[in-house]
Amino acid sequence: MNLDLSADEVLTTTRSVRKRLDFDKPVPKELVLECLDIALQAPTGSNSQGWQWMVIEDAEKKKAIADLYRKNFNAYASMPGREYEAGDTRAERQDKVRSSAGYLSENFEKAPYLVIPMIEGRLGEGTPTASQAGGWGSILPAVWSFMLALRARGLGSAWTTLHLPDEEAAAEILGIPFDTYTQAGLFPVAYTKGTDFKLAKRLPAAELTHWDTFGNRQA
């Protein structure tokens, strides 16, 4: 099913979906591949296309990866949250975000598929900034395109990274060559309960844009 959304509508209403993932509705494999084919049209550095995609459907493997995620999520959730200035719109939704994230952590393996995008090469600790930027810049546009393609077809996901402190353990579970590929995240994939996603509250671009010199906000 294609929702017939405009490009702007897809770009502005693709949300991190957690509580509204429909864990009970099967997702055709062909639809996941269709979204990945779209994702693979994204640009990559030097047109290297060094990406690979792990789609996890096996229940035991999903549970094992979800357990890695949960372990790190529980540690992360116990840390103090970021403090915002009075009136900052980001503060208004923090409780809902925490509740939503907790729900996903508890139910991660219920998603029909878990997807892990990978980029060739190791982007571990000590990798120079320029190499990091080039490496991530060669996979993250494709990941976002994947999420946009899901949204256009009535599916959803959430960009998560908390299994990555145990990336090597995840690689062993899934047979990923750890020395050859860096994992870029973990994405549950499911149909969404309803498709009426709206624009999120964001700070205006004028407050975040600097012209020629940092701190100069005069256009």
Per-residue confidence (pLDDT) for residue 91, from 0 to 100: 57
Please, what sign has the CA dihedral across residues 31, 188, 139, 99?
A: positive
Per-residue confidence (pLDDT) for residue 90, from 0 to 100: 60
* Residue ranges of the chain whose pLDDT lies below 70: 79-94
Name the CATH code of domain 7-79+91-207 (choices 3.10.20.30, 3.40.50.1820, 3.40.30.10, 3.40.109.10): 3.40.109.10
Per-residue confidence (pLDDT) for residue 97, from 0 to 100: 79
Phi-psi region of 7 (alpha: psi -120 to 50; beta: other; left: phi over 0): alpha
Per-residue confidence (pLDDT) for residue 124, from 0 to 100: 84
On whether the CB atoms of residues 194 and 25 are closer than 8 A, the answer is no
pTM summary value: 0.92
Per-residue confidence (pLDDT) for residue 88, from 0 to 100: 62
Cα dist. 121→47, 109, 140 in Å? 15, 28, 15
Per-residue confidence (pLDDT) for residue 219, from 0 to 100: 73
On whether the CB atoms of residues 72 and 165 are closer than 8 A, the answer is yes
